[in-house]
Amino acid sequence: GENVEQHPSTLSVQEGDSAVIKCTYSDSASNYFPWYKQELGKGPQLIIDIRSNVGEKKDQRIAVTLNKTAKHFSLHITETQPEDSAVYFCAASLGVNTGNQFYFGTGTSLTVIP
């Protein structure tokens, strides 16, 4: 089955700096890669996603890049703010081939220092 690895597990940045979180996946058939933000005691919130036919996607301060050849994708947050502090999870999906199941990374705890 699919295996997703996520790094780093913790990340601290100064407010205003950029943060980058990286994930790798093992199954080249994976075709959908969402990123979720989870605040303490809450459910994950979808913040951005990318499909395998796209190399990059941007939404204001958040961007995701995908390298299918290397089988890795990254989340980029620019101009970080204290409210960006949360745990971020990446995931990979093979779509209908596996019942649309998501394979999650282990999470990155991001702290933005004011």
Candidates 51, 54, 58, 97; binder of another protein (CB under 8 A) is 51
Candidates 34, 35, 64, 77; binder of another protein (CB under 8 A) is 34
Candidates 74, 80, 85, 93; binder of another protein (CB under 8 A) is 93
Q: Which region among 14-22, 64-72, 76-84, 89-97 touches another protein (by CB under 8 A)?
A: 89-97
User: How is residue 29 annotated by DSSP?
Assistant: T
Q: How far is CA 13 from CA 17, 31, 54, 62, in A?
A: 6, 31, 28, 15
The answer to whether 105 and 16 have CB atoms below 8 angstroms apart is: no
